[in-house]
Structure 1
Amino acid sequence: MKSVKTLLKRPYNWIVIAFCVIFVVLFIFTFFNAKFYDTPIGQITQINNTSTTHISDEHHNKDTKHKTQLHIKILNGKFEGKTANISHEYTESQADSEAFSKNNKVLLHIDKDLNDAYITEKKRDSLVVAITGIFLLTVLLVGKKIGLQSILSLALNTLVVLLAIYIHNQSPNISLFGLMSVGIFISTTLTLLLVTGWQWRTLITILSTLVGTFLCVGMSQLIIQLTGGTGLKFETMSFLTLPPKEVFLASVMIGTLGAVMDVAITIASGMAEILRRTPDISMKRWALAGRNIGQDIMGTMTNILLFSYLSGSLPMLLIYLKNANTITYTISMNWSLEISRAITGGIGIVLTIPITILLMQLWFRLRGVRS
């Protein structure tokens, strides 16, 4: 009992408890919130399989097509309580269709009569709330106070990026790249102030992050300008009505920022801790320690960046290969921009290491620390 009372006296524990309560309430609410939707929602009560056909295309890709009859109970709107019978076809690979199970809740499109109804997609708010809640709870439990600050910075960063996109949509004459540049500056400053607080190394981390990010983006812009963008498949940006180079550079800047910031804060924090524990260390040995830290994380951070970019295009890559496209054509059409972003981000990571070390040295020389 004493341990429970001690835990409840800590403000942070109350925050975790409050979050858990909110998360559970929201999760339960998603099962009964159909009446709050304007879109008709139905629950599948019965599935009858009417036929099964084995199919094959010209490239000998085999699949199985199922035709089903779904009995769906309407949960909201003017048809609430009634049952709709909807024909649904899907393939087992689910490449261009989706399979449903009994008790799934689905979003429907209904014109004037239930006979015209069809399914648009699954109702996934319960899954979204569950995954988001588990992620945030894990960050809070592992990161404690820093975890809470990280969640706040994540929310602020998301708002900054969305605000930049919104402003550009409202005023297309304003450069998206310029808006993202301002957003990156604000996002970097707020994130590092929230995560590390106002310390001397916070300023160094902010400067090295911004310099490393804009330097590698500037190099990318210069190379694209000199080469005319040869080799970059801008045409793979489907349905894009904006200048592709501007959008590409904005995406490079956003993607590079996270990795560069991680490298900058790791080196700055490591060097600060080394100096605190061994204040009589020489400047040369101190810089060497920072370089060793940078070398240890350089490879892993570059790999993380590469895998993050490539993973999103993996489904399309497999579809291209399944349809008898060559490996070179498949990679050029699906991974051209992703590999370019990853390489550019890798350059930013490498450049940030000496930039951070030099700024740390400069700061302490200005404070009169001996070399």
Structure 2
Amino acid sequence: MNKGFQKKYLLYLLVFFGFIGSMVFVYHNHDFYERTILKVTETIETDRIEITDNYENKDYLVTQKITAVIQNGGEDKGKTIELENQYSGSQATHFQLKEGTEFFLAKDGSSVGDIKRDKYLVLVAWLFIIILLLVGKKQGALSVVSLAVNAVILSVALDIYIRNSDNSLLIICGISIILFTVLSLIMASGLNEKTYTAIIATLLSTFASLLIAYVALLVTKEQGIRYEEMAFLTRNPQIIFMGGLLIGSLGGSYGCGNHHVFLYL
């Protein structure tokens, strides 16, 4: 058995055990949460009414009686409680609860909070990683490492933003984009002239996109842009929109940077 095959075999084993271990963990990690988690054991629909909004859009509102078992919380673990849940047919802001669904108890201690989705997120993440490794092989593995590093940078950036004012968002996004680009391209291609060309092309394309968008918004006075979907945000939607635009344009600019590398070669 050659060394190359041994390394590949070891990698597959690590992925397999990592997948099994992480899935087992997220299905039994209730005690790691400070918020109370409940699992639905029974649902009964008690009321259903039709509603119409100001724009004549029709929907319906359902009221559920929920019986659930507490999954964590020390002495309260295992206790059964009853709650009431309301959701609309569109499920725009609230969700229908079914038997087996796990959710967080709201801060008031008597209503339904968010759905516990970590198991679904971990499953999707592992599917993405496995496909990336099968298709990209060594480059796929480097991409996974790069993605993990970028996730850490994003987490730190969000924490810094939460502790500061809205005006700091563009600065935080700008620094994050530089770190994303430099680290990702160095991990993928190493330290060489091709990588330097890709980094410069990516950053120039990204910030040029932001400049064009800013000028367009300035000239049009933001006509045609609606912020109704951001009604639940607690921060300035215009600043968040520009920050999202800056981060979002990075993907296209990254492709532009790789295109410049291809031309360079």
TM-score (norm 1): 0.61
How far, CA to CA, are the matches of 1:63 and 1:72 in structure 2?
Answer: 27
Aligned to 2:102: 105
The answer to whether residue 40 in structure 2 is matched with residue 28 in structure 1 is: no
The answer to whether residue 223 in structure 2 is matched with residue 231 in structure 1 is: yes
The answer to whether residue 52 in structure 2 is matched with residue 57 in structure 1 is: yes
Change (3 A) 1:57 1:247: closer
How far, CA to CA, are the matches of 1:142 and 1:201 in structure 2?
Answer: 23
How far, CA to CA, are the matches of 1:144 and 1:50 in structure 2?
Answer: 53
Q: CA deviation at 1:167?
A: 3.4
Change (3 A) 1:27 1:213: same
Q: CA deviation at 1:27?
A: 0.7
How far, CA to CA, are the matches of 2:68 and 2:234 in structure 1?
Answer: 37
Q: CA deviation at 1:9?
A: 4.2
How far, CA to CA, are the matches of 1:267 and 1:149 in structure 2?
Answer: 21
Please tell me the root mean square deviation across aligned C-alpha atoms, in Å.
Answer: 3.0
How far, CA to CA, are the matches of 1:110 and 1:100 in structure 2?
Answer: 18
CA contact under 8 A between 2:105 and 2:111: conserved in structure 1?
yes
The answer to whether residue 82 in structure 2 is matched with residue 85 in structure 1 is: yes
Aligned to 2:71: 75
How far, CA to CA, are the matches of 2:253 and 2:28 in structure 1?
Answer: 43
Aligned to 1:343: none
Letter in 1 for 2:52: D
Deviates more, 1:144-153 or 1:180-189: 180-189
Q: CA deviation at 1:150?
A: 1.0
The answer to whether residue 129 in structure 2 is matched with residue 136 in structure 1 is: yes
Aligned to 2:176: 183
Q: CA deviation at 1:8?
A: 8.0
Change (3 A) 1:219 1:63: closer
Aligned to 2:199: 206
CA contact under 8 A between 1:67 and 1:88: conserved in structure 2?
yes
**What SS does the aligned partner of 1:198 have?**
coil
CA contact under 8 A between 1:165 and 1:176: conserved in structure 2?
no
Q: Name whichever structure is richer in strand by fraction.
A: 2
How far, CA to CA, are the matches of 1:209 and 1:170 in structure 2?
Answer: 29
Aligned to 2:261: 268
CA contact under 8 A between 1:16 and 1:140: conserved in structure 2?
no
Which string of whole-angstrom CA distances, capped at 9 and with x for unpartnered residues, describes residues 87-109 of structure 1? 33333332343111112222224
Q: How high is the sequence identity, in percent, across the aligned residues?
A: 24
Q: CA deviation at 1:121?
A: 2.4
Q: CA deviation at 1:71?
A: 1.8
Change (3 A) 1:36 1:176: closer
Q: Name whichever structure is richer in helix by fraction.
A: 1
CA contact under 8 A between 1:54 and 1:65: conserved in structure 2?
yes
Q: CA deviation at 1:211?
A: 2.0
- What is the aligned residue count? 261
- What does residue range 318-357 of structure 1 map to in structure 2 within 5 Å? none
Which string of whole-angstrom CA distances, capped at 9 and with x for unpartnered residues, describes residues 224-268 of structure 1? 45x273426475554454593x54443332211211111221342
CA contact under 8 A between 2:197 and 2:260: conserved in structure 1?
no
Change (3 A) 1:37 1:177: closer
CA contact under 8 A between 1:7 and 1:13: conserved in structure 2?
no
Change (3 A) 1:127 1:7: farther
Structure 1's unaligned 5+ residue stretches are: 273-371
- What does residue range 253-264 of structure 1 map to in structure 2 within 5 Å? 253-264=246-257
How far, CA to CA, are the matches of 1:259 and 1:47 in structure 2?
Answer: 46
How far, CA to CA, are the matches of 2:42 and 2:226 in structure 1?
Answer: 46
How far, CA to CA, are the matches of 1:234 and 1:91 in structure 2?
Answer: 24
How far, CA to CA, are the matches of 1:6 and 1:60 in structure 2?
Answer: 69
Q: CA deviation at 1:13?
A: 3.5
CA contact under 8 A between 1:164 and 1:176: conserved in structure 2?
no
Structure 2's unaligned 5+ residue stretches are: none
**What SS does the aligned partner of 2:78 have?**
coil
CA contact under 8 A between 1:161 and 1:180: conserved in structure 2?
no
- What does residue range 243-254 of structure 1 map to in structure 2 within 5 Å? 244=238, 246-254=239-247
Aligned to 1:220: 213
CA contact under 8 A between 2:63 and 2:87: conserved in structure 1?
yes
**What SS does the aligned partner of 1:103 have?**
coil
